[in-house]
Chain A
Amino acid sequence: MPRNGQIEAFKNMLNAMNEANVLNGVIIVGSWAEYLYKHCNLLDYLLTMRTQDVDVLIKNMNKPSGQVSKALQQHGFIMIPDNNGLMKFDYLGELEVEFLLQERGVGQNKPYKTALNVTAQGLRHMDILLEYCITVNYNGIDVEVPMPFAYILHKLIINSQRQPYKQEKDADAVGSLFDAISDDVRNQMLLVYKTELTKKERIAIIETCNRFPEILEKIKVLLLNDTTPE
């Protein structure tokens, strides 16, 4: 569970982005999306471990435009640039905010400059998070998060690219989330798996399930034992 200082910092971040009028242009992804699932009563389940970073996915690097960097700094965040030019924003050592973007085409090694006046790291396989998101109300502020089934599929797709211990951590989180989603949502997940994902992505998902059979077998069963026609 996040500590009180982290939660205050998280609220502060949302307030800053709300005041900058950019919340409709971003999605909260990563483990803080799980926190929102639980605290906005979207899912009832046991939260796994949380680290100090909040990942904010920018939907479109060219719009909306806004002064996010300035707004965050006005709310007490301090910008920590890395050697590569990626901006991170830290709040009193309690929480670190980082921006992500869907990487397209050949991609690039350095971060992208965005209309939000922050730089963002380009990552692949974010389409599913961008396509299937839902708005939740947290403390009176509307925030977008990926739909839980999209979050699950995304974590399964990218699992092999993560560090080994993060693979296990993600598998645990995904297993708990899967237990908490309804049959309807599972069917939606199956439909998206069959109709929207590439063959490579589907293989990656099954490989992840095979790596963690004890936790993810139930997902594999759902995805492979389906009898409905494609």
Chain B
Amino acid sequence: MAYMLDVLNEEYDRLISKKDFYMNLMKNLQHGSIQIKKINGRKYAYLCYREKGKVVSKYVPKEQLEKVRNEILQYKQSKTALKNINDNLKLIKKVL
């Protein structure tokens, strides 16, 4: 079972490069949540997120709504992935 350390080392390297990938991906994704506001009887979508402690609200044109929603989802998935990757890295570090 001497190969176990090599397997873990390879896994470690792979997790590090995956971590880099997700960190870069998140830089280019919208995050926050979509809120629908009713103004003069019409519905408008806004992207709401926090920036330096302040809540920012940005109008999202109808044609971009689907794309922004997908990006928000991908951002959340990436955040979970990063958490899992960090947990696995911690575990491997302990063993190594």
Contact = CB atoms under 8 A, between A and B. Distances in A.
A144 interface: no
Given A51-B11, A52-B14, A78-B25, A93 B3 contact: no
B7 A169 contact: yes
Interface of B: 1-4, 6-7, 10-11, 14-15, 18, 21-22, 25, 74, 77-78, 80-85, 88
A7 interface: no
A92 B14 contact: no
A93 B18 contact: yes
Interface residues of A, number: 19
B84 A92 contact: yes
A80 interface: yes
Contact of A165 (B6, B18, B83): B6
Given A52-B14, A93-B88, 7 more contacts: A92-B80, A93-B15, A93-B18, A93-B84, A96-B18, A165-B6, A169-B3
Given A5-B84, A80-B18, A90-B18, A165 B77 contact: no
Interface of A: 5, 49, 51-52, 76, 78, 80, 90, 92-94, 96, 163-166, 168-169, 172
The interface residues of chain B, by DSSP majority, are classed as helix
Nearest to B78: A78
A172 B80 CA distance: 34
| Chief secondary structure at chain A's binding surface | mixed
13 contacts: A49-B7, A76-B77, A78-B25, A92-B80, A92-B84, A93-B82, A93-B84, A94-B81, A94-B84, A163-B6, A165-B3, A166-B3, A172-B1
A90 B85 CA distance: 11
A49 B85 CA distance: 19
Contacts of A90: 18, 81
B91 to A, nearest CB: 10
Contacts of A78: 25, 74, 77-78, 81
A168 B74 contact: no
